[in-house]
């Protein structure tokens, strides 16, 4: 669990990931979501909904050390333009952020803020959505080819994906359903579909996933889940 949190957040210091670290990704995601949900619940009682939503978005960026949003920007710059595979990987490895990255990050953050601002605070909902996004990350790392010959995420490749998917999926649905109910469970499904869509795009364009792709899939998945949860059912 400590290694999973160390990989997914700036907490607990540097820790080399291992294959078994992936097993703890769903639980680590649930913990992060519940913490953010607590921030959401508390902020909503002190400020208007729009301000509370902005605080949650900022808290998520801080709690994840901007790691996932950086992956989102790099993935957008590498996967969306018309480039060959080698150039895509090169672009994703550079620290610069281009127009595709800026636009994508801006749109995702705006959607997250708007969805949170129009939804009743629910720590259990965020726990379920964040659990689902980390479950997709773990299953991706265990089932999809790694696109580079080396890299941070390559240290924990392998392991049993089915057990992680079942346990993580069940926990995510249970948490989200215990919050807003059926709409929460549907939102978990949206997380999985959207996050998997990012992975499929990466597999087609660069031959697999990278650490940036994992971060991007999590961000896109969570955002889709929040938007679905905010729908007028």
Task: Quick: pLDDT tens for 112-137.
Answer: 999 999 999 999 999 999 999 999 99
**pLDDT of 9 higher than 60:** yes
Q: How many domains are contained in the chain? A: 1
Residue 104 per-residue DSSP state: H
Provide the residue range defining the domain that includes 31.
2-229
Model confidence, pTM: 0.93
* Burial class of residue 38 in the structure, from the number of CB atoms within 10 Å of its CB (0-12 exposed, 13-18 middle, 19+ buried): middle
Q: Which residues pair with 209 in a beta bridge?
A: 146
Highest mean pLDDT among 13-17, 127-131, 160-164 belongs to 127-131
pLDDT at position 210 is: 94
DSSP 156: G
Give me the chain's average pLDDT, please.
92
Among 22-31, 107-116, 182-191, the minimum mean pLDDT is found in 22-31
Contacts of 176 (CB under 8 A, 6+ apart): 124, 125, 127, 128, 129, 132, 184, 185, 187, 188
Spatial CA neighbour of 72 closest among 200, 226, 195, 187: 195
Confidence of residue 21 (pLDDT cuts 50, 70, 90): confident
* Residues paired with 146 in a beta bridge: 209
Residue 186: CB atoms within 10 Å: 18
């Amino acid at each position: 669990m400590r290694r999973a949190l160390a990989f997914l957040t700036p907490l607990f210091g540097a820790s080399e990931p291992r294959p078994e670290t992936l097993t703890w990704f769903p639980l680590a995601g649930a913990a992060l979501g519940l913490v953010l949900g607590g921030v959401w619940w508390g902020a909503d009682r002190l400020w208007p909904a729009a301000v509370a939503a902005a605080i949650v978005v900022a808290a998520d960026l801080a709690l994840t050390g901007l790691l996932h949003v950086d992956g989102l920007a790099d993935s957008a710059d590498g996967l969306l333009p018309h480039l060959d595979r080698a150039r895509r990987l090169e672009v994703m490895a550079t620290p610069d952020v281009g127009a595709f990255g800026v636009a994508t990050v801006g749109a995702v953050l705006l959607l997250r803020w708007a969805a949170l601002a129009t939804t009743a605070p629910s720590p259990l909902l965020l726990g379920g959505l964040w659990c689902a996004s980390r479950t997709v990350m773990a299953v991706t790392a265990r089932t999809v080819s790694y696109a580079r010959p080396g890299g941070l995420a390559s240290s924990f490749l392998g392991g049993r994906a089915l057990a992680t998917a079942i346990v993580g999926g069940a926990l995510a649905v249970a948490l989200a359903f215990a919050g807003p109910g059926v709409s929460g469970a549907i939102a978990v499904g949206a997380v999985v579909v959207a996050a998997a869509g990012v992975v499929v795009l990466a597999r087609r364009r660069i031959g697999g996933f990278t650490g940036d792709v994992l971060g991007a899939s999590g961000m896109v998945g969570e955002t889709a889940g929040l938007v679905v949860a905010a729908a007028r059912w």
